Amino acid sequence: MSLFKKLFYRLLIIIVMKKNLLFLLIILLLCPAISEAAKTQEDLKIKDVFRIYGKRKNVVMVELSKEMLDTYDITFYKSITIKNDPEALGFIRKCLEKDQDGAHKIKEVMSDGGIISAYYQIPGKNSATNRFILFKVNPKGVITLIYIEGELDSDDLITILFTKKDL
């Protein structure tokens, strides 16, 4: 093999290794942020709603970045809106039944034996963090499920929900 080919192959190997190293470094830097987002709902059943239904047709899922949330003392926000899906509604109601154990029921509205509106405060991972689940089914069958985590309390959240229209 010629000297040129040897140098070329060595240079190619170095370039590939540097790219892989850069890719690995990026992944390692992102891991804490990814694992933190995954931890926010790890003990809640509603995480399955977002996982199962999040990418389906007629579904809108929103997860806001920390920069968007800092103004409101919110550290995590995720919502999902599902259009007229009775199977999803049944699944979400089952998840809510499990997640409301130990939760403070701020509001719960039932109709025909099923929850149509709910607002729960769930104990956080530490005393400074509160977690909230908000749920509503409108008369047209559109389902909205929201998970919020942060240092705000239920009064702060109500103020945000009824005075701000940009969340």
pTM: 0.72
Interval 88-139: pLDDT, tens: 999 999 999 999 888 888 889 999 889 999 999 988 777 778 899 999 999 9
Provide CB contacts within 8 A for 79, sequence distance 6+: 61, 62, 144, 145, 146, 147
Separation of alpha carbons 138 and 111, rounded Å: 12
Q: Are 92 and 45 in contact (CB under 8 A)?
A: no
Interval 46-89: pLDDT, tens: 999 999 999 998 899 998 877 777 777 788 889 999 998 999 99
